[in-house]
Amino acid sequence: MKIPVEFSANAAGPLTEDRLARVTASWQERLRLQDWDIQPVIARACDLGDGHVGDCRPLPHKGYAKIRVLHPSDHEGQSFTLADQAGDWELTVVHELVHIALVGAVPEKQKRHRRDAEERAINNIARALLAAHRVSRELIASRET
Ligand SMILES: [Zn+2]
């Protein structure tokens, strides 16, 4: 049996406000972040800045965080620092939620090379979580058919 784990733009369906809210809520639960009030929004490239597929702004003292995910139509013509994130908005959501999970564990002000290392580590964790999730979802789906 072939299990597709590759990352495709449509893995979680086309990005809509509804889907974004649902996917964020389920990953929030999986990552045990229910204490946080997390607001996901679709953002344009002009708001996020070139080369960013998303970002998050956690306010730990309020238990509130806003996650911004790049609108798919703004992907074209851009190159991203974490290229594998482009086109897979669910990966962006998981990536930003892992940032929130690490609030308090990782110093806010860091030297550039440590920040880059943190970004790569978070992306690898997010990819692994998402791949495992998609494999198990495929397995469940294949048993149901
Ligand atoms: Zn990041």
Amino acid identity for residue 106 in this structure? V
Contact 4/32 with Cβ under 8 angstroms? Answer: no
Residue of 137, 15, 138, 27 lying closest to 86 (CA atoms): 15
Residue of 19, 5, 72 lying closest to 80 (CA atoms): 72
In whole angstroms, give the CA distance from residue 63 to residue 56.
13
Please give the distance, rounded to the nearest whole angstrom, from the Cα atom of residue 143 to the centre of ligand 1: 35
Please give the distance, rounded to the nearest whole angstrom, from the Cα atom of residue 54 to the centre of ligand 1: 8
Please give the distance, rounded to the nearest whole angstrom, from the Cα atom of residue 67 to the centre of ligand 1: 11
pLDDT in tens, 78-119: 777 665 666 789 999 999 999 999 998 888 788 888 888 999
Tell me what pLDDT residue 49 has.
Answer: 87
Domains of the chain plus CATH, in order, are: 17-138 (3.40.390)
Please give the distance, rounded to the nearest whole angstrom, from the Cα atom of residue 26 to the centre of ligand 1: 19
Please give the distance, rounded to the nearest whole angstrom, from the Cα atom of residue 140 to the centre of ligand 1: 30
Please give the distance, rounded to the nearest whole angstrom, from the Cα atom of residue 106 to the centre of ligand 1: 12
Please give the distance, rounded to the nearest whole angstrom, from the Cα atom of residue 135 to the centre of ligand 1: 24
Q: What average pLDDT is seen over the chain?
A: 86
Please give the distance, rounded to the nearest whole angstrom, from the Cα atom of residue 51 to the centre of ligand 1: 12
Q: Percentage helix, strand, coil, to 5, in the chain? A: 50, 15, 35
pLDDT in tens, 62-88: 999 999 999 988 887 777 766 566 678
The predicted model scores a pTM of: 0.86
In whole angstroms, give the CA distance from residue 52 to residue 81.
7
